[in-house]
Amino acid sequence: MEAGARRFFDTPVEYLKGVGPQRAALLNKELSIFTFGDLLQHYPFRYEDRTRFYKIAELTEEMPSVQVVITLTGKELVGAGSKRRLVAYAEDETGKMELVWFQGIRWVQDKLKAGVPYVVFGSPVRYGKKFSMAHPEFEPQTEANTKTGYLQPVYPLTEKLRAKYIDSKVISKLQRELLLLANDKIRETLPDYLLKQHHLIDKRIALFNIHFPKDHELLTKASQRLKFEELFYIQLRLLMLKLVRQEKSQGYVFNDAALLTKFYNEFLPFPLTGAQKKVIREIYTDMRSGKQMNRLLQGDVGSGKTIVAFVCMLLAIGGGVQCALMAPTEILAQQHYNNLKRYADQMKITIALLTGSTKKSDRNSIHAGLQNGTLKILIGTHALIEEEVKFNKLGLAIVDEQHRFGVAQRSKLWGKNSEVLPHVLVMTATPIPRTLAMTLYGDLDVSVIDELPAGRKPIKTIHRYDSHRLQVNGFLKEQMDQGRQVYIVYPLIDESEKLDLKHLMDGYESVCRAFPDVAVSIVHGKMKPEAKDYEMRRFVKGETKIMVATTVIEVGVDVPNASVMVIENAERFGLSQLHQLRGRVGRGADQSYCLLMTDFKLSAESKKRIDTMVRTNNGFEIAEVDLQLRGPGDLMGTQQSGILDLLIADLSKDGKVLQKAREAALSILADDPTLSKPENKVIRDQVELFRNSAMNWSRIA
């Protein structure tokens, strides 16, 4: 893009007519709009259809908002105190309706005149035989407002902006002003051949029609064009990173499978599933290639990722290097350590655990073993990336539940070996929908374990209302009589993770009353670690039959004998959390159950979550529904928000556009990896423009 145009889009927004310093400060703070470019890319999130007028007789309750031309026949104040309202009576040649205001009554009263025709816009609601509109927009009918129908943009706003009288109409006015100034500055950012191939309109037309669509068809074309561009540049960036890494990042070559063969023949505790074997083959191919492995391993809770991780470690140790496994919490790091130590001891391989609570004397021997190379496997938390942790030769870095770590934290782990980058395996039990995986991990190769180990029975999930409490307690008693154990989980009160301890303690007391002869454990986040561990150990040993807990058991200890999970107030949990919790049972050969307890009143979204859980155990299917319900930002946590700071595309709805954008980026880089061909100059310029910027690559400037 030419320097002049770039400077124009970098102009502070306060210099736009109608903004000024005070409004600019609000736009900066509330919407992160600092420049002309930011404002132009503050896109509407929906449009009000003003393209046609309806007659009163045509109205139905299904209509969101509609325009009607009516004549006012009268108005009156009805009710008293908080129930006082202004009712205006309106009609056209096909019928009668009412317009109602509960607020701003005096202002509206002065504006409404009987016998005058008005254009009104609002949502029709039926009361008996008559339709009514609450707080409609209205203005006297003129030739101009009746003749030209249009789609009115509605922009994302905040309460503070509305309080300062900055609404969608104000933003719309500013956009019109800006588009007039920007008309000759907007440059095309996609090459001609790509526009033709994907039937995309040009950038200038797209920007005009996303803010002021002439009709539905042009709005669709503008939206498709801008979504494609945004996703294309994100995919191009990820794929270029991957190309650079594959060319420059040499990796250790591991050819010695002797340790692996010994483990298979002598110590493997159960036959591997077909999916595990397939994933191990993919990893082995990477490790022998001479290039650094960068692979994402997705597998549902209980699918056997840990044993795959150990097999990778054997290949690396056979090649004379050390391995590290980093987990987000002490509980999870401890669990990995306990699981892997069994195998490591059998194979006579040294292994250690390093967390924030590791004693100083133990730390000293760990540091010594790492530096002289005698310690082969180190499991730990963030403690692994501390400055004093130095490896002799780190060849394989495994990160579990990767989305809980920031990019900087992960790269510190790779940097523990300066000569040759270690191979990287990223593991997650959070099933990630394809569209999200392509955007978050587009530079990684993806392996999926989509099969549960043999002998595992699918967990039966049942929804029950609170009114069924006696039957549920009867079922729990039957299960415990057969020797099983039970988890009962209570939700946290809010996102800040303040525990609703009263709720939990009430629940605990109810459980103790319902099962007076049964020993019950209780675990929650406010307990000291040693008290929590003591309660967990009692449950693992079978000394207690019921564990009453908050979500601290989401990533907890495996208890094969615990085959029933009761989730109280299940409507207060997100889908992925419900799925993670359910994965705590079903670890043994017995039939396992998950009971979702809810209030009788459920919102449509809660009902969909509960129905999805009852219908399927497939984590990927659940993740797709979760993505539709919650959107990508919520799913991945804050660390990834930079990647998902999408301006117009929506990963839960635009999977097909993403697929096309990725295929286009792949095919261009396969043909022209350095983007040096003349026809790709536009792409190269755009890439150069943002090479040193963390901004979204589809931005204008």
Mean pLDDT check: name the lowest of 241-245, 504-508, 577-581, 589-593: 241-245
CATH number at residue 335: 3.40.50.300
**669 lies in some domain:** no
pLDDT attached to residue 23: 94
Mean pLDDT check: name the lowest of 178-182, 237-241, 628-632, 660-664: 628-632
For residue 252, pLDDT over 80 is answered with yes
CATH number at residue 119: 2.40.50.140
Report the chain's terminal Cα–Cα distance, integer Å: 8
**247 lies in some domain:** no
Integer CA distances (angstroms), 331 to 30, 299, 335, 529, 578, in order: 39, 19, 6, 10, 19
**Separation CA 450–CA 277 (nearest Å):** 12
Beta sheet of 294-299, edge-to-edge order: 351-354, 377-380, 322-326, 394-400, 423-428, 294-299, 445-449
Mean pLDDT check: name the lowest of 443-457, 507-521, 614-628: 443-457
**Separation CA 434–CA 700 (nearest Å):** 28
For residue 611, pLDDT over 90 is answered with yes
Q: 421 and 289 in one domain?
A: yes
Q: 598 and 512 in one domain?
A: yes
Residues near 644 by Cβ (< 8 Å), separated by ≥ 6?
439, 440, 632, 633, 636, 651
> Mean of the per-residue pLDDT values for the chain?
85
Q: pLDDT-based confidence at 638, cuts 50/70/90? A: very low
For residue 141, pLDDT over 50 is answered with yes
pLDDT tens, residue by residue, 53-64: 899 998 888 888
Q: 391 and 435 in one domain?
A: yes
**695 lies in some domain:** no
Q: pLDDT-based confidence at 108, cuts 50/70/90? A: confident
Q: 4 and 101 in one domain?
A: no
Three-state secondary-structure class, residue 644: coil
**Separation CA 580–CA 586 (nearest Å):** 12
Helix or strand (DSSP H, E) at 565: strand 562-567
CA-based diameter of the chain, in Å? 95
pLDDT attached to residue 700: 37
Q: 161 and 85 in one domain?
A: no
Instruction: Identify each DSSP E strand in 271-370 by its residue range.
Output: 294-299, 322-326, 351-354
pLDDT tens, residue by residue, 642-682: 445 688 988 778 888 998 999 999 999 999 999 999 999 99
**549 lies in some domain:** yes
pLDDT tens, residue by residue, 419-477: 788 898 988 877 777 777 777 677 778 888 888 777 778 899 999 998 999 999 999 99
Q: 94 and 19 in one domain?
A: no
Domain boundary residue, one of 185, 209, 233 = 185
**687 lies in some domain:** no
pTM tops 0.85: no
Structural domain span for residue 542? 460-616
pLDDT attached to residue 17: 94
DSSP labels, 190-220: S-HHHHHHTT---HHHHHHHHHS-SSHHHHH
What are the b/e assignments for 2-32, b being 16+ CB within 10 Å?
A: eeebeebbebebeebeebeeebbebbbebbe
For residue 554, pLDDT over 60 is answered with no
**Separation CA 33–CA 39 (nearest Å):** 6
pLDDT tens, residue by residue, 280-332: 999 999 999 888 888 889 887 778 888 999 999 999 999 999 999 998 888 78
Q: Are 460 and 591 in contact (CB under 8 A)?
A: yes
In this structure, what is the dihedral angle of CA atoms 379, 382, 383, 389, given to the nearest 10 degrees? 80
pLDDT attached to residue 639: 36
pLDDT attached to residue 429: 77
What is the Cα 661 distance to its own chain's centre? Answer: 20
DSSP state of 55: -
For residue 693, pLDDT over 60 is answered with no
Q: 387 and 306 in one domain?
A: yes
pLDDT attached to residue 358: 87
CB burial of residue 293 (10 Å; 0-12, 13-18, 19+):
buried
Q: 368 and 300 in one domain?
A: yes
| Backbone φ, ψ for residue 560 (5° rounding) | -55, -30
Q: Domain tally for the chain?
A: 4
| Backbone φ, ψ for residue 375 (5° rounding) | -85, 120
**631 lies in some domain:** no
Mean pLDDT throughout 570-587? 85
pLDDT attached to residue 268: 87
Mean pLDDT throughout 491-497? 51
Mean pLDDT throughout 19-47? 93
**652 lies in some domain:** no
Q: 489 and 422 in one domain?
A: no
Mean pLDDT throughout 360-365? 91
Q: What angle do CA 235, 237, 239 make, to 5 degrees?
A: 65
**659 lies in some domain:** no
**Separation CA 321–CA 403 (nearest Å):** 26
Q: 157 and 17 in one domain?
A: yes
DSSP labels, 66-130: EEEEEEEEEEEEES-GGG-EEEEEEEETTEEEEEEESSSHHHHHHH--TT-EEEEEE-EEEETTE
Short-list 685, 679, 662, 657, CA closest to 192: 679
For residue 480, pLDDT over 90 is answered with yes
Domain boundary residue, one of 616, 647, 674 = 616
For residue 196, pLDDT over 90 is answered with yes
Q: 22 and 139 in one domain?
A: no
Domain boundary residue, one of 563, 595, 616 = 616
